[in-house]
């Protein structure tokens, strides 16, 4: 097993390269992914290394990109397409919901779509409007799609390799603000999809997070530790499939939980987590599960985003609210 120090963007690039090397049916396309290497440079060097047939720029048409990927996946290829930003995937929404997600079902499993839709998502980078949406709930709500989101460079590599190898379509959500985080990455293809992971052990309460909110939860646990409270942190890694087992075991072990997510809280993935865990762990809970999410407003501009995003203070406030004493 090889280890390398990589940023998340480099780890994703490495995953694409390794998959393309191993499997000639893997093709990459999208807007500016060719010579430019993508606006976040995730596809850097792929056209030079594998040629124009394997990594190419498309016309500016997201519905077309995903629709063509459907056809290529129907005919023996494994397309990995890039949507340039979260909010620019919406023109492709019809293709994703009506075709990508349903093809297997409406053909009794005869036509499958091994394709990956990569989407840089979420905020925290001072982006202007349409560049910071947390769109996971739209996809997670659509039966037929896998939805995964890495929080570390290592997971980014492993999750992307596994997503490309998957027989089913995967919406692969890349937290933009973590593209430049760096760590030692083991280039393995161990199975991660559908498996949450305990990122930090703790005994008093459990923080449940995914993607961009994992570092926030870890930072909160660090501060809480100094204040004498031991917080456990669970990273979902995969929203669909959802790892009930790991999440519930973690919550049962502490009896208290807070969900941390950037997306607006109403009708969200965080609502789903609270519902599932409450249904399964009711008798182990000492307090209602709290959620710390973005407000129910359109994503605000750079100078306000720190007020909107779940931060350490808000997470710790929620933890304080977990009915530690009878009042």
Partner 1 sequence: MTGDAHHLLPSGTPVTLIGIDGHPVAGSGRVFPSDAELRQALAALITARRLNDQAHALVRQGRLAVYPSSHGQEACQVAAAQVLDDGDWLFPTYRDTVAAVGRGVDPVEALTLLKGDWHCGWDPYEHRVAPHATPLATQLPHAVGVAHAARLRGEPTVAMALCGDGGTSEGDFHEALNFAAVLRAPVVFLIQNNEYAISVPLARQTAAPSLAYKGIGYGIPGERVDGNDVAALLTVLGEAVARARAGEGPQLVEAHTYRMQAHTNADDATRYRTSAEVDAWLERDPITRLERHLNLPASDVSEMREAADRVAAHLRDGLNRDISPTPAQLFEYVYATPTSQLREQQAQLADEHAREGAAG
Please identify which residue in 56, 67, 88, 225 interacts with ligand TPP, judged by CB under 6 A.
88
Burial (CB count within 10 angstroms: exposed 0-12, middle 13-18, buried 19+), residue 45: middle
Q: Please tell me whether residue 31 binds ligand TPP under the rule CB under 6 A.
A: yes
For the question of residue 131 being annotated catalytic, the response is: yes
Burial class (CB in 10 A: 0-12, 13-18, 19+), 112: middle
Q: How far is CA 186 from CA 11, 148, 157, 207, 299, in A?
A: 10, 19, 8, 26, 35
Q: CB 195 → partner 1: shortest distance, Å?
A: 33
Strands (E) in the chain, as ranges, are: 3-7, 26-30, 55-57, 78-82, 116-121, 146-148, 170-175, 182-186, 197-200, 205-209, 231-235, 238-240, 257-264, 290-294
> 84 vs 163, which CB is nearer to ligand TPP?
84
Report 257-296 residues binding partner 1 (CB under 8 A). Answer: 266, 295-296
Among 64, 104, 187, 223, binds partner 1 (CB under 8 A): 64
Binding-site residue total for ligand TPP (CB under 6 A)?
6
Select the span of 66-74, 83-91, 117-125, 204-212 touching ligand TPP (CB under 6 A). Answer: 83-91
Alpha carbons 90 and 100: distance in angstroms, whole number: 14
Q: Can you tell me which of 24, 36, 107, 267 binds partner 1, judged by CB under 8 A?
A: 36
| Catalytic machinery residues | 131
Give me the residues that bind partner 1 (CB under 8 A), please: 31-32, 34-37, 39, 57-64, 87-88, 90-91, 126, 128-130, 266, 295-298, 300-304, 307-308, 313-314, 317
Give me the residues that bind ligand TPP (CB under 6 A), please: 31, 60, 62, 84, 88, 91
């Amino acid at each position: 097993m090889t280890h390398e120090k990589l940023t998340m963007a480099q780890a994703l690039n490495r995953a694409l390269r390794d998959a393309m090397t191993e499997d000639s049916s893997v093709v990459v396309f999208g807007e500016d992914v060719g010579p430019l290497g993508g606006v976040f440079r995730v596809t850097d060097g792929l056209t030079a290394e594998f040629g124009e047939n394997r990594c190419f720029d498309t016309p500016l048409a997201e519905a077309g990109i995903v629709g063509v990927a459907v056809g290529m996946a129907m005919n023996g290829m494994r397309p990995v397409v890039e949507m340039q930003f979260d909010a620019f995937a919406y023109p492709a929404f019809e293709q994703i919901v009506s075709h990508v997600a349903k093809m297997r079902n409406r053909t009794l499993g005869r036509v499958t779509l091994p394709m990956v839709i990569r989407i840089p998502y979420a905020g925290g980078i001072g982006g202007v409007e349409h560049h910071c949406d947390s769109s996971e709930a739209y996809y997670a709500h659509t039966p037929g799609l896998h939805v995964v989101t890495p929080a570390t460079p290592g997971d980014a590599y492993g999750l992307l390799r596994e997503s490309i190898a998957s027989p089913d379509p995967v919406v692969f959500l890349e937290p933009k603000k973590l593209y430049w985080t760096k760590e030692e990455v083991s280039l393995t293809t161990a199975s991660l999809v559908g498996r949450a992971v305990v990122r930090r052990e703790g005994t008093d309460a459990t923080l449940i997070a995914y993607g961009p909110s994992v570092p926030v939860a870890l930072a909160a646990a660090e501060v809480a530790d100094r204040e004498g409270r031991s917080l456990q942190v669970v990273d979902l890694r995969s929203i669909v499939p959802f790892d009930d087992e790991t999440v519930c075991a973690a919550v049962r072990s502490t009896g208290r939980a807070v969900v941390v997510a950037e997306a607006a809280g109403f009708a969200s993935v965080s609502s789903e987590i609270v519902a599932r865990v409450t249904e399964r762990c009711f008798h182990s809970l000492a307090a209602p599960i709290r959620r710390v999410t973005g407000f129910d407003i359109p994503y605000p501009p750079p100078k306000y985003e720190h007020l909107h995003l779940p931060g350490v203070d808000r997470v710790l406030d929620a933890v304080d609210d977990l009915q530690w004493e009878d009042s």
